[in-house]
Amino acid sequence: MKTVETTRSARRASSLIAAGLIVMMVLCVIPASALTVLPYKHSFINVSNEAGPLYDLDGAVYGTGNNGTYYMKFDGGGLNALHITTNTSSPNGQVTNSTSATGTFYVSDTGGRGYDDDIILMFATNASLSNDFSIEINASGYQWEATESAPTSYDYQAGALQETFGQGDFAYGPQIYKPSSVSNYPIFYGQDMGDTDNTFQIMFIDLNVGLLGLNSTLEGNGMAQVDYEIGNFTGFGAFDAYAWCLNSNQEQGISWTNAVVGTGSSGYTVKIS
């Protein structure tokens, strides 16, 4: 026969277990209120890097009070020059659908300008993330001081970025499109844009390196190398690339991303079960 104290103890234990389950459920999902939906262009974005952006210059040019951000300008085409590729001998890139939690890809530029001062990586996912989710990014490539002209002096930096990001580093969404020069532009190749319930949360990562066009005499053909490792993750995620320039025909800011629609598409997705 149970005593009153035993019954009370059992009730307290049940209450604690229930409370613990609620806390676990809350921790496993990023609240939508913590995210910001981005317009497709003319927006300031924060990168998730602990050190902030490599070039903190756009806020002073395009808006007061937006320090520590990049400006998604996109007043021009912006979908032909930048690519994601798994092979430095294939600068035009390809669509890659991986099932591996680790991998390597490169960001290339085949445009006439011949360089980008800085590359920003976007990672988007529609998965429900646990609080121990992680994505480690190791980026290597060329660095120089951005000026009003093409770089003439640059240095290769292996591991220019070595940082691990977590659940709390997602800042944008929920949305089905990525910033670009075109409204309602897909996040990945083959995306069903009619499925408006399939929304994504997004983070941006400054790779701290630029691109030097097609140059076989340089390490990695002048491309930015990205090594990733995703931990405690089940579901689907997509990588996209963005390029920032101090001076170009499109003026200062971010005006280029990899195409994911039609001929010339490139991208990199992961699906882990």
Task: Give the pLDDT confidence score for residue 2 in this predicted structure.
Answer: 38
pLDDT at position 49 is 98
Task: Encode pLDDT of 41-55 as tens digits.
Answer: 999 999 999 999 999
- Can you tell me the mean pLDDT for 96-119? 97
26 or 131, which is more confident: 131
Sign of CA dihedral 71, 41, 137, 246: negative
Reference 232, options 134, 162, 94, 118; nearest CA is 134
C-alpha pair distances (Å), 166 with each of 73, 200, 253: 27, 16, 26
pLDDT band at 65 (very low <50, low <70, confident <90, very high): confident
Q: What are phi and psi of 231, to 5 degrees?
A: -120, 150
Confidence check: pLDDT of 14 > 50: no
- Please give the pLDDT value at position 19: 41
Q: pLDDT digits over 133-189, tens only?
A: 999 999 999 999 999 999 999 999 999 999 999 999 999 999 999 999 999 999 999
Residue 106's H or E segment, with its range, is strand 102-109
